[in-house]
Amino acid sequence: MRIVEKLTGTRAETCPWFAFHDPLVADVLNVYPFFESGQLAFAAGRNPPALLVEAVREYHAAMGRAADALKREKDGQREHDAGHAAAVRQMGALYGVR
């Protein structure tokens, strides 16, 4: 549950997997690919329910926060790895190891 909160910025109040039983969640997951391509009306109709639109927006925002968190984590790991490699090279140079 802490990982979900870390990645999305939102604390889950129940088991995240339980949400898949909610019809609104199923609808969001079904229409989201169309939202990303600007074709929500194609999947959800000309006048989709406001609740669905708001849920898709929230899901999109959560996905963006999660992607940002993962990118920061990967960037941090790359910096760590680069720093470690530099330290190993310095130690090698200090002791004459190539």
pLDDT of residue 84: 64
- Dist. CA 34–CA 11, nearest whole Å: 27
pLDDT tens profile 64-88: 988 888 888 888 776 666 666 666 6
pLDDT tens profile 34-68: 998 889 889 999 899 999 999 999 999 988 988 88
> Higher pLDDT residue, 1 or 37?
37
Query: Any residues with CB less than 8 A from the CB of 57 and at least 6 apart, and which?
Result: none
Does the global pTM surpass 0.85? Answer: no
